């Protein structure tokens, strides 16, 4: 049973706290994918690897399963992968299929706070309209972000487990328990959506792939959940050597690979505003 499932059923009792504490003790900070979960073909294995071993191990497994030899690009032509993958791939994903990296004019760098990953921007990579139909890679990224969110929640619980405020266990404070419950409930919602993607009839989706709207909902739920987690860390959450680095990887993966919220990002702001319609009335401005 996953952390998110337990959270959904026990969001307001001590069961969730106990399970998260036990899970935090089992977390491995090494980046290895040597775990029994790799024996299954279900995409939830990427979440399990991310939760137990971190982003790099999960990305290595996902790349080998979905995009070997090719750099997978996000909607705007950006790539975020482990160093070894960036060094070994000779091609990148373009709107028309794999294209050679030679002479593509790519930019490459190391994200602040995430030294084990590299980012690239490749002109011509990604999708023509900025809103790709989600591929197996993009679905896998959503699962990895779920695993990283569960990892952060377990670490937050471990961080607070032995702390007290005026002789009261920090984990028993109402605001702390509310943040834990909200974070875990958001992960439960994300997992439910991803389970639906994994089990859906591919014939019911365009090109046999899940709708981008579903993945956008998943990423939104996970973003909200991790914000709740970061509130639990206090100052420790800003350290890249601690959970700050893990949260940074989580955020960058979402920024890079989440489906574009606007199907036509090249449109001007006034055009997008006109398409969205007038904003709702502001109660403070009513007579």
Residues 6+ apart with CB under 8 A from 250: 55, 145, 148, 149, 152, 222, 226
CATH of the domain at 248: 1.20.140.10
Residue 277 φ then ψ, to 5°: 90, 175
Examine residue 238 and state whether it is found in any structural domain, yes or no: yes
CA dihedral 38, 43, 45, 49 (to 10 degrees): 110
Mean pLDDT of the chain: 79
Q: Which domain holds residue 15?
A: 3-72+132-257
Least confident among 52-56, 93-97, 111-115:
111-115
Domain count, the chain: 1
Query: What's 155-210 look like in SS3?
Result: HHHHHHCCCEECCEEHHHCHHHHHHHHHHHHHHHHHHHHHHHHHHCCHHHCHHHCC
The model's confidence at residue 87, banded by pLDDT at 50, 70 and 90, is very high
Q: What's the pLDDT tens digit per position in 245-286?
A: 899 999 999 999 998 765 444 443 344 444 444 444 444 334
Q: What confidence score (pLDDT) does residue 14 get? A: 57
The model's confidence at residue 80, banded by pLDDT at 50, 70 and 90, is very high
Examine residue 225 and state whether it is found in any structural domain, yes or no: yes
Q: pTM value?
A: 0.77
Does the pLDDT value for residue 66 go beyond 90?
yes
CA 82 to chain centre: 15
Q: What confidence score (pLDDT) does residue 217 get? A: 94
Examine residue 83 and state whether it is found in any structural domain, yes or no: no
Percentage of residues of the chain with pLDDT beyond 70 = 70
Residues 6+ apart with CB under 8 A from 220: none
Contact assessment for residue 259 and residue 161, using Cβ atoms and an 8 Å cutoff: no
Q: What confidence score (pLDDT) does residue 186 get? A: 96
Examine residue 287 and state whether it is found in any structural domain, yes or no: no
Examine residue 105 and state whether it is found in any structural domain, yes or no: no
Examine residue 59 and state whether it is found in any structural domain, yes or no: yes
Examine residue 184 and state whether it is found in any structural domain, yes or no: yes
Q: What's the pLDDT tens digit per position in 159-191?
A: 898 888 888 888 889 999 999 999 999 999 999
- Token duo for residue 84: 């070894």
Residue 28 φ then ψ, to 5°: -110, 125
């Amino acid at each position: 049973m996953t952390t998110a499932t337990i959270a959904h059923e026990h969001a307001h009792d001590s069961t969730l706290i106990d399970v998260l504490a036990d899970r935090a003790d089992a977390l491995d900070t090494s980046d290895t994918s040597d775990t029994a979960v790799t024996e299954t073909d279900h995409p939830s294995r990427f979440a399990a690897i991310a939760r137990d071993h971190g982003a790099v191990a999960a990305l290595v497994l996902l790349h080998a399963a979905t995009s070997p030899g090719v750099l997978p690009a996000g909607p705007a032509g950006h790539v975020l992968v482990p160093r070894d993958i960036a060094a070994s791939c000779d091609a990148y994903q373009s709107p028309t299929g794999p294209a050679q990296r030679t002479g593509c004019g790519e930019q490459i760098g190391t994200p602040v706070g995430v030294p084990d990953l590299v980012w690239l921007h490749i002109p011509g990579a990604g999708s023509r309209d900025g809103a790709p139909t989600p591929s197996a890679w993009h679905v896998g990224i959503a699962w990895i972000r779920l695993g990283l969110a569960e990892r952060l929640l377990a670490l937050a619980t471990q961080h607070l487990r032995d702390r007290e405020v005026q002789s009261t266990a920090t984990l028993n404070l109402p605001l702390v328990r509310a943040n834990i419950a909200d974070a875990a409930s958001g992960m439960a919602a994300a997992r439910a959506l991803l389970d639906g993607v994994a089990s859906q009839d591919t014939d019911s989706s365009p090109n046999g792939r899940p709708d981008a709207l579903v993945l956008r909902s998943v990423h939104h739920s996970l973003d909200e959940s991790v914000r709740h987690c970061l509130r639990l860390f206090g100052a420790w959450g800003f350290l890249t050597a601690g959970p700050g680095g893990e949260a940074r990887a989580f955020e960058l993966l979402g920024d890079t690979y989440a489906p574009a919220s606007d199907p036509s990002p090249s449109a001007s702001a006034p055009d997008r505003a006109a398409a969205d319609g007038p904003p709702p009335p502001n109660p403070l401005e009513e007579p």
